[in-house]
Structure 1
Amino acid sequence: CLLGDIHDKCSYGPWKRGLNKVMLEENFHLRNGRTWMKRIGASGGAAKDELQCAVDWMFPLSVEWFGLPDSKKMHSTQLEYRLKGLTNDQLRQWWLSTVVPYCEQIGVKVPAHKDTRDGKEVWELDYPFPCEFDAENKRWDFNQPITWDDVLARWRARGPRNAEMVAMFQEEFHNFRKTHHKES
């Protein structure tokens, strides 16, 4: 979605060319995800329940990935220089217009619906946006709205295993340098 917009609308040649391979990879993952969601949804039982749990966890997170609402962010430079073609809210609406009907088609519930605002069809979330995330239990508290400052603080805190991952990368890099240094 976001990378697709950048790939389609970006005026900066090196970035646009670099995204060609990324777009192929992204499209593979999108097709694979759609195929497996459909298969798992059709299988019913515990597998479908697990799929629903995964969507319950990831849907609000995915909606957040498009960033601050347009009312809270200035896009003029990115749009003016054509680094991207659509605003965060436009991208979020495009994503919802694709994901919500697909999930409904395969019998997966999502907390969003189509509505009409100012004579236009828009996708509305059925929960306060943004809302609190309980990382320990991997669940969203739809009764607890939060501010975008809270969301940004959560994003900056990274995941619970971030320190472990950074330490692993640093150790591997250190080992690589030691090995490479011996060969020179």
Structure 2
Amino acid sequence: MYGGGYIYEEPNQRAGMPAATQEDPEMLAAFEARIARGEKIEPRDWMPTLYRKQLIRMIEQHAHSEIMGALPEGTWITRAPGFKRKLALIAKVQDEIGHGQLLYNAAETLGKSREAMINDLISGKAKYSNVFNYPAVTWADVTVIGFLIDAAAIVNQVANSKGSYGPYCRALERICFEESFHLKQGHDAFIDLATGTPLQRRMLQEALNRWWQPIIHFFGPPDKDSQHTEKLMQWKVKMASNDDMRNQFLDQYVPKIWELGLTLPDPELRKDSASGKWLFGDPDWDLFHKVINGQGPCNQERLRVRQWAEFQGRWVREALMQPTEQWTAPAA
């Protein structure tokens, strides 16, 4: 569900290959010709420094978002209305953690260890999706996450599953297959509230009002503010721009929301008939950057949870890493 969306752009990990080799014009031309032919790049293939660096950044942040994204919904497992909803939420949270593991595996093929990625996450150095730094106040918040944020993530993941890096594409193919279940689960819960009692509809409307701005932020700032979009799209690291993905999401889901008699907290939101593009009010990009840089309402709380989990599970990881001959079975 959670990956994709905006990927924070800043210089990150070292590429792991000599710069002089990576900048060889003949090798670069051959690399770009392969991508133009639609071939997949595999871990042992030569790749430019920027390609490797941006893939690590993208896949790592996607993995972190899957792990952190399980937290707001996970807190509602015991409070979900009814046994059926509890079971569905347990299955969904389990899937998201599994998606994170798939993505860490894919990022490791590019030369950064899982330990380094986790350390960057729990130290606050690594970034993850803005939407997982907000609280799930009511059950209606969970339904908005399950329906609309899942839908937004799927827009990104389906596009990037057709990208150029083989391990990431294969991971996304499996993730997208499982996301079809998540989207149905979220849609079902959303519709249930939208067609429920006046109190349920009001609760859903309030949740929709809270989440609309973070959802608009999810795809990131306008393309004009993105540093590497053109080159990354040429290399098929990124398969669609921030603005295009946001417009695709709005095109698919705003009509569904309006059909249910719900409103959106943006009086300027409308579709321009001439361009076919959605227009919306100022989404306050300063707030977005504060959240993505650790100043959101739940940033510190979510990091503390991950730090606690890392500490509590350390003994298990250390035991698993011990050579078999050093392991002694506990006494009966």
TM-score, with length taken from structure 1: 0.79
Q: Out of 155, 161, 166, which is 1:13 matched to?
A: 166
**How many angstroms does 1:33 deviate by?**
1.4
Q: Please give the alpha-carbon distance, in whole angstroms, between the structure 2 residues aligned to 1:67 and 1:39.
A: 30
> Are 1:155 and 2:311 matched, yes or no?
no
Q: Please give the alpha-carbon distance, in whole angstroms, between the structure 1 residues aligned to 2:257 and 2:177.
A: 23
Secondary structure in 1 aligned to 2:271?
Answer: strand
Matches within 5 A, 1:122-133: 122-125=277-280, 127-130=281-284
Q: Please give the alpha-carbon distance, in whole angstroms, between the structure 2 residues aligned to 1:62 and 1:28.
A: 20
Q: Which runs of 5+ in 2 are unaligned?
A: 1-154
> Are 1:169 and 2:309 matched, yes or no?
yes
Higher strand share: 1
Please say which of residues 55-64 and 157-166 is displaced more in the overlay.
157-166
Contact 2:223 2:242 in 1 (8 A): yes
Q: For residue 149 of structure 2, what is the aligned residue in structure 1?
A: none
> Are 1:106 and 2:294 matched, yes or no?
no
Contact 1:56 1:110 in 2 (8 A): yes
Indicate the RMSD between aligned Cα atoms, in angstroms.
2.1
Q: Please give the alpha-carbon distance, in whole angstroms, between the structure 2 residues aligned to 1:108 and 1:165.
A: 34
Amino acid at match of 2:307: A
Secondary structure in 2 aligned to 1:98?
Answer: helix
Q: For residue 65 of structure 1, what is the aligned residue in structure 2?
A: 218
Larger radius of gyration: 2
What is the CA deviation profile of residues 7-31 of structure 1, one whole-angstrom value per residue up to 9, with x for unaligned ones? 1x31222211111111012222112
Secondary structure in 2 aligned to 1:121?
Answer: coil
Over 3 Å counting, the alpha-carbon distance change for 1:15 and 1:128 in structure 2 is same
Amino acid at match of 2:289: L
Q: Out of 183, 189, 197, which is 1:36 matched to?
A: 189
Amino acid at match of 1:3: Q
Q: Please give the alpha-carbon distance, in whole angstroms, between the structure 1 residues aligned to 2:239 and 2:311.
A: 40
Q: Please give the alpha-carbon distance, in whole angstroms, between the structure 2 residues aligned to 1:96 and 1:82.
A: 23
Matches within 5 A, 1:75-86: 75-86=229-240
Amino acid at match of 1:64: H
Runs of 4+ in structure 1 displaced over 6 angstroms?
Answer: none
What is the CA deviation profile of residues 124-166 of structure 1, one whole-angstrom value per residue up to 9, with x for unaligned ones? 22x3222xxxxxxxxxxxxxxx53xx52232121524124213
Q: Please give the alpha-carbon distance, in whole angstroms, between the structure 1 residues aligned to 2:168 and 2:314.
A: 31
**How many angstroms does 1:101 deviate by?**
0.5
What is the CA deviation profile of residues 24-70 of structure 1, one whole-angstrom value per residue up to 9, with x for unaligned ones? 12222112212221121011311111111111111211111101211
Q: Please give the alpha-carbon distance, in whole angstroms, between the structure 1 residues aligned to 2:173 and 2:301.
A: 31
Contact 2:272 2:279 in 1 (8 A): no
Q: Please give the alpha-carbon distance, in whole angstroms, between the structure 1 residues aligned to 2:157 and 2:202.
A: 31
Q: For residue 115 of structure 1, what is the aligned residue in structure 2?
A: 271
> Are 1:51 and 2:193 matched, yes or no?
no
Amino acid at match of 1:98: Q
TM-score, with length taken from structure 2: 0.46
Percent identity reads: 19
Q: For residue 139 of structure 1, what is the aligned residue in structure 2?
A: none
Q: For residue 183 of structure 1, what is the aligned residue in structure 2?
A: 327
Equivalent residues, number: 164
Q: Which runs of 5+ in 1 are unaligned?
A: 131-145
Q: Please give the alpha-carbon distance, in whole angstroms, between the structure 1 residues aligned to 2:186 and 2:178.
A: 12
Secondary structure in 2 aligned to 1:108?
Answer: coil
Over 3 Å counting, the alpha-carbon distance change for 1:97 and 1:111 in structure 2 is farther
Q: Please give the alpha-carbon distance, in whole angstroms, between the structure 1 residues aligned to 2:252 and 2:265.
A: 14
Secondary structure in 1 aligned to 2:277?
Answer: strand
